[in-house]
Amino acid sequence: MASASHRRSLRTRRTLVVSAAVVAAGVGAGALVLDANASGADLYHRTLAAKDGWASSGSGTTGGAKADSAHTFTVSTRAQLVKALGSTSDTTPRVIKVKGTIDADTDDSGKKLTCADYAAGTGYSLSAYLKAFDPSTYGRSKLPSGTQEKARAAAQAAQAKNIVFRVPANTSIVGVPGTKAGITGGMLQIQGVDNVIVRNLTFSDTEDCFPQWDPTDGDDGNWNSAYDSVTLRGATHVWADHNTFSDAGHFDSTNPKYYGREYQVHDGELDITKSSDLVTVEQNQFTSHDKTMLIGSSDSEPGGKLRVTLHHNVWKGVVQRAPLTRVGQVHLYNNYYDVTTLNGYALQYSINSRAKAQVVAQNNYWTVPGSIKTSKLLSGDGTGSVAGSGNLVNGTTTDLVAAYNAANSKKIRTTVNWTPTLTAGLEPSAGNLPTELAKTAGAGALTAS
């Protein structure tokens, strides 16, 4: 992999292990660490440090750090979270402390809701849908339309009304340490707003009850779902830190097949699309998932945005999109990838650079079993670039682009049009990442002090 020029800073954001390992919000293991991101502020009012990735540029990312007592909330239920978020038109700084695990599939009284509840009154049933759009009679040349497709869309809208949480600008959403803080079955939607922080939360099993059949998707058609655990759409200055993302509760291996294709109920874990910009994603765990992170939703997205930094994250048991990048300038440094099959999730690739994306991958570490070739770690369409150096595979410095290009006709380019400078915490070697990030990354790792 061709070398790229970087300005290395001292590791100002190194976390300090202060106690033995604990279970991280029910998914994997973590270690209690002291977050040293900003002096003089508690966990809930911390702001992103200077030079810590793209989200630190310009005005930086402060979230709800200036929230007054009237806009500081502690929530433990779906209804409380909805109330605390308020309207996206209200940009007053706010801090939302999440205590415990919030089940998005509940009504305002806390009663558990099922897919049947969302479908009630719409006329939708899976059996009727399958009969209506069976390729043997409906064909494969057009999208579903008609009575059952309208009913499916109505049922999906009913679920979305309940499980999609719209986040306003100038907001910090932070899990309370020691409470297994997180959201199951729900989606944080950060759309068209600026200055949002999401920290110390576990997101699990964000499930679409009503996937749409698309017979034109690929050679054999596909079932497509609608919800990411966290989705950024046209958002700016977003910092996602010390979160855990997983399909735990409903792994894809349990999904049935219809029309010969998997009935996929999961979409992304953290997607950054629709010209979102100035985003830093660090110290997270992404695990047991298929389509994990999408940066850029279309090959035709305009240039100049989709600037994203990913550092000190763990990707484990991830099939693909770690990340898939389009158009933007993306810096990946000091991430750890374990591509061993986990819970049925087997690797397709780790990083995809397409649509002229400009990726710098520096000092990352891959654990790769002998059954997987190094050439499978990257993917591309022949227009994207991946530059960088210091990447290790099983402890050995490896030119990932050279390995990929030797095995594929659509070559990944090795030069980029930018030089990363917002590199706080950049470690000169990836050698210690597997051990280090096992202790420090993901939800449940931070203290409140």
- 287 to each of 134, 189, 269, 343, how far by Cα in Å? 34, 20, 9, 10
Three-state secondary structure call for residue 210 = coil
Amino acid symbol at 388 = G
Which of 175, 100, 158 has the alpha carbon at shortest distance from 442? Answer: 175
**E-strand stretches of 292-381:** 294-295, 308-311, 314-320, 324-326, 329-333, 336-338, 351-354, 358-362, 365-367, 378-380
Q: Distance (Å, rounded) from C-alpha 228 to C-alpha 211?
A: 13
Q: Distance (Å, rounded) from C-alpha 166 to C-alpha 187?
A: 8
What one-character DSSP code corresponds to residue 151?
Answer: H
* Residue tagged active-site, from 46, 94, 261, 321: 321
Q: Distance (Å, rounded) from C-alpha 141 to C-alpha 221?
A: 10
| 321 annotated active-site | yes
Q: Can you give the C-alpha Rg of the chain in angstroms?
A: 21
190 and 146 in contact (C-beta within 8 Å)? no
Count other Cβ atoms within 10 Å, centred on residue 217.
14
Buried b (16+ CB within 10 A) or exposed e, 349-382: bbbbbbbbbbbbbbbbbbbbeeebebbbbbbbee
Known catalytic residues are 321
